[in-house]
Structure 1
């Protein structure tokens, strides 16, 4: 490389692209610099930070020529907080960038330039959409702070407001923080492993309005318990469930193993479409219910069910997609490695009077062959894996048993593209990909892809 970029160099560069985590990308004689806060099309002044062999990082100093899509972030802690990455980009432009991100990996990793990647399905109102907030508390200089972590750190950015979470979560976060010392409650200190309150979790049923509050505490017994319950009820009178979760470990993991009901019932109900779900303190449930309905309707559309199909839902969780599919399928078989999630799925089927959905705990790559050995034959397989994508053994299981259609729901376009390539090489054809914006203001995008068996 003829040009060498050095640490602390000040440069004016042209931003060409965005990374998957929302940083601008500029190239200095072919050497990529990643610049948080910079947007495509901008000329910016930067200071070079860390430099590696093939790329480096730089700090944005000044925007010389701003993008027409740059806006003033409405959140006052946006530049510090790691919760959102794209509030400085207009929402219309966010959707265009997310479609481009998916298109790029489908071309580059899946090597499928002819497969349609449709425009992203976005929200009419991309604010206050989160139905779940997980808020850490800490003591700093003798006062309680709460908010969200600064990007790539465990430093809490103190705030009373987050405009992508519910107003009730804001009220509880702010009131609890300012009244804690008054009622004799202290916040957890990671370094000393002391202090009672670790996290506040607020869950709200978007359709039902039911609210659950979870206090994650260091110890089971704390004398301020009743005072905290009364405080929560005074701030949010419509609260239907107050839970305590005990986590006595030195860990970054939020939840401990023991959960106790302090007030009301131990779950809340929410609905997606016509299906009701019982959500407990630790249930996995999509955080944007409005867009979850869009996502699942897309999966249902791609499944092309006429009432006679046998369907597998791998990675079924608490049965959210399974129960959607069961409305149109002959039978749905869900498999999930987390036993508690399977118990939730069975209960949710019962709650909705759905009798054609069956759930089993275990690894999909072990359970599915057994179903085939029992004589079951499946027409459609739906997968909704974690960010790391499908397990290699599951992909080989799909290729061995060859269901006619595979509907792939993905929260990571990169691993989706990798897995599409494997399925294509094994005899499937990717028909189309539909991105859905589940997390406005962030750099994340979810997708649904349809694959059919080649003739």
Structure 2
């Protein structure tokens, strides 16, 4: 066959999906990646880019659709970068995510431990308790939506199926106010304008809603009118905040918040732990699945009541505090000062006397605990997507806990870290993926590692 060239149209079958959600096919053993396809699709693919070892294509037409393919229920699917898997059945999505985790541990970690069945999401739509809507101007009016995949182009989006249904009327209320009073919308190329983002949070148990406007100023003209309109729109709004971000950056939130109505935080409860949420607080976006995730972590910790547990990357302390009634001593470590203060308040409100929270980088804090001759029975690891540093892993192993329980939002870095832990005498015993982010490519995984005798 002649060499593949751009704009050639050729028949091809999709034989797999990769970790980016793209279909994988082959033409004479040359791999072609095609977005928005499903395993089993037979297509005519139009080649759009050819590299040395692989290429990219788009669907020119369908020959035969895969049995995994379903009718897309969102009109913004092809433009918005939020959902990558809305075109396949949820059963197929779960199979794909289980395979993603298994492949990472086998290929990256060299670990043969069988992966337990994925814990499916019982609510695949409207499960998020947080949304951040970038604001832009289109045809002379302010609109809000989400960024298109791999870009900073805002796709206007109404009634996102991942968000609570209460959110859209609130967004509309803010946009109507911006348009009526001609509040300038931020232009990131010119670094001009005021309104950058509309950021909403909701407490699953409390029902309380926070409205946070990310602005380039710490005040808003006519804000009293906006406050009243928001309260009329939804009486569950208990906190309205301005977050000031003047920096030329793609980071959404600035460091300074001003409360213009109600409380500085909203309340919620997760696994029996009271939680105060500010705009800057980390919190799992899927409350109900997070409780199932933490229950598995608690089971893996194997607690009997007298253990010393170190909770690294503890955030507001939710994971460790959810186990605190079965722990002898709990020590939490977190780098964000506000989160540490939240963790301490949460422990106080639970009337716990067996907890201690340290503010600092995980690797430095672990060294401090080592110097104090702390010998944990269990270490909980809940690292960011980049995983744990070598220094953290070395220090954890030096403290020689009997068990390590890792909760990871990135199976690739989890597999890498587990491989390093295996080399230091910790063997993976159990792996359970949990679907917190249905219709997207993200997946959480809980891993148990035991110290070899």
Paired position in structure 1 for 2:67:
68
Q: Secondary structure at the match of 1:327?
A: helix
Paired position in structure 1 for 2:186:
188
Asked whether the 8 Å contact 1:96–1:119 carries over to 2, the reply is: no
Q: How does 1:189-204 map to 2 (within 5 A)?
A: 189-204=187-202
Asked whether the 8 Å contact 2:374–2:399 carries over to 1, the reply is: no
Deviates more, 1:176-185 or 1:401-410: 176-185
Q: CA deviation at 1:226?
A: 1.4
Asked whether the 8 Å contact 1:387–1:410 carries over to 2, the reply is: yes
- In 2, the alpha carbon distance for the partners of 1:290 and 1:75 equals 24
Paired position in structure 1 for 2:3:
4
Q: How does 1:106-145 map to 2 (within 5 A)?
A: 106-113=105-112, 115-145=113-143
Q: How does 1:232-311 map to 2 (within 5 A)?
A: 232-311=230-309
Paired position in structure 1 for 2:382:
384
Instruction: Report whether the alignment pairs 1:104 with 2:103.
Output: yes
- In 2, the alpha carbon distance for the partners of 1:221 and 1:272 equals 33
- In 2, the alpha carbon distance for the partners of 1:132 and 1:20 equals 24
User: TM (normalized to structure 1)?
Assistant: 0.97
Deviations 1:320-348 (A, max 9, x none): 11211212111111111222221221122
Paired position in structure 2 for 1:209:
207
Asked whether the 8 Å contact 2:270–2:291 carries over to 1, the reply is: yes
Give the direction of change, closer, same or farther, for the CA distance of 1:147–1:374 in structure 2 (3 Å limit): same
Q: CA deviation at 1:224?
A: 2.3
Q: Secondary structure at the match of 1:16?
A: strand
Asked whether the 8 Å contact 1:184–1:224 carries over to 2, the reply is: no
Paired position in structure 1 for 2:405:
407
Paired position in structure 2 for 1:168:
166
Q: Secondary structure at the match of 1:167?
A: coil
Paired position in structure 2 for 1:88:
87
Paired position in structure 2 for 1:77:
76
Asked whether the 8 Å contact 1:3–1:29 carries over to 2, the reply is: no
- In 1, the alpha carbon distance for the partners of 2:209 and 2:118 equals 30
Give the direction of change, closer, same or farther, for the CA distance of 1:285–1:3 in structure 2 (3 Å limit): farther
Asked whether the 8 Å contact 2:375–2:400 carries over to 1, the reply is: no
Q: How does 1:41-52 map to 2 (within 5 A)?
A: 41-52=40-51
Q: CA deviation at 1:448?
A: 0.3
Q: CA deviation at 1:122?
A: 1.1
- In 2, the alpha carbon distance for the partners of 1:226 and 1:438 equals 37
Paired position in structure 1 for 2:363:
365
Aligned length: 453
Paired position in structure 2 for 1:334:
332
Q: CA deviation at 1:4?
A: 3.5
Q: CA deviation at 1:131?
A: 0.1
Deviates more, 1:67-76 or 1:45-54: 45-54
Deviations 1:30-54 (A, max 9, x none): 3222111011111122211222222
Q: CA deviation at 1:189?
A: 1.7
Paired position in structure 2 for 1:26:
25
Q: Secondary structure at the match of 1:180?
A: helix
- In 1, the alpha carbon distance for the partners of 2:413 and 2:2 equals 33
Asked whether the 8 Å contact 1:322–1:357 carries over to 2, the reply is: no
Q: CA deviation at 1:140?
A: 2.2
- In 2, the alpha carbon distance for the partners of 1:369 and 1:177 equals 50
Paired position in structure 2 for 1:59:
58
Q: CA deviation at 1:273?
A: 2.0
Q: Secondary structure at the match of 1:50?
A: strand
- In 1, the alpha carbon distance for the partners of 2:56 and 2:260 equals 48
- In 1, the alpha carbon distance for the partners of 2:228 and 2:188 equals 27
Instruction: Report whether the alignment pairs 1:428 with 2:430.
Output: no
User: Any gaps of 5 or more consecutive residues in structure 2?
Assistant: none
Q: Secondary structure at the match of 2:179?
A: coil
Deviations 1:149-206 (A, max 9, x none): 1100111111221011011211112232244221332322222222221111110000
- In 2, the alpha carbon distance for the partners of 1:329 and 1:133 equals 35
Deviations 1:331-376 (A, max 9, x none): 1111112222212211221222222121101122222232232232
Paired position in structure 2 for 1:158:
156
Q: Secondary structure at the match of 2:406?
A: strand
Deviations 1:356-407 (A, max 9, x none): 1211011222222322322321100110101111111111112222211010
Deviates more, 1:433-442 or 1:152-161: 152-161
